Amino acid sequence: MFASREDAGAKLGRCLLEQRVRADLVLGLPRGGVIVAAGVARALNLPLDVLVVRKIGHPWHREFAVGALAEAGVIVLDEEAIGTNAVIRAELEEIIREEDERLRSYQARFHPKGAPDLTGKAVLLVDDGLATGASTEAAVLSARKGNAGFIVVAAPVASPSAVERLARVADEVRVLCVDPEFDAVGRYYDVFAQTTDEEVMGVMRDA
């Protein structure tokens, strides 16, 4: 469906422009979401910044996300997926500490002059795809804590469950393709290489 994240950002930006979605600021979710967000910000002629989020992996299967961290001390956890095992709970606390350190490191790198002031602003949160929606939910809650006045979540592709989940916390959700057979974000891109910190910094400098 999309040649690359740049292609997805351009298409999503055109769609949001046609829909007359209004915002004061575009915030990309690192890392891949920032590349898509750059295209959206360009199409809408809006400033671009970053809202840092980190996935929390299951202690025994780190690739399986059971929650997310976001700026402003936001933690979202899937209690059902985590379960009640005391050993898992203890190991999860260590993972949360590790990810919190990484989040702070990214904050220092991506916000050298401090995080943007969201007070009263209409914010457009952009990611490269919404699988479970956990990371983006954490981002929405973080923007709420930052006193954002209106929050729109936008992505090129999403699962129906993610859209439903985010509709409960965001003011609007705009997605180009909601696929009932969604299984992985990368399946919708011809090129879906991992985005580097340097690429994110380059995009931010250009913006």
pLDDT of residue 182: 96
Q: How confident is residue 80, by pLDDT bands cut at 50, 70 and 90?
A: confident
Dihedral (CA of 39, 154, 114, 192) sign: negative
- Which numeric CATH code is attached to 5-52+117-206? 3.40.50.2020
| CATH topology for the 54-110 domain | Ybab; Chain: A; (3.30.1310)
Q: What is the pLDDT of residues 186-207, one digit of tens each?
A: 999 999 999 999 999 999 988 8
Place of tokens 């985010």: 166
Beta-carbon count within 10 A of 20 CB: 6
54-110 matches 5-52+117-206 in CATH topology: no
Ordered strands of the 25-28 beta sheet:
48-50, 25-28, 122-126, 150-158, 172-178
pLDDT of residue 63: 79
Give mean pLDDT, residues 137-153: 98
Q: How confident is residue 177, by pLDDT bands cut at 50, 70 and 90?
A: very high
Dihedral (CA of 5, 8, 14, 17) sign: negative
pLDDT of residue 128: 98
pLDDT of residue 65: 84
In the predicted structure, residue 112 carries a pLDDT above the cut 90:
no
Average pLDDT of every residue of the chain: 95
Q: Which of 23, 59, 7, 63 is nearest to 154 (CA)?
A: 23
Is residue 41 within a helix (H) or strand (E), and if so which, with residue range? helix 32-44
Domain spans of the chain, in order of start: 5-52+117-206, 54-110
Give mean pLDDT, residues 77-82: 86
In the predicted structure, residue 84 carries a pLDDT above the cut 90:
no
Give mean pLDDT, residues 77-96: 89
What is the pTM assigned to this prediction?
A: 0.93
Q: How confident is residue 83, by pLDDT bands cut at 50, 70 and 90?
A: confident
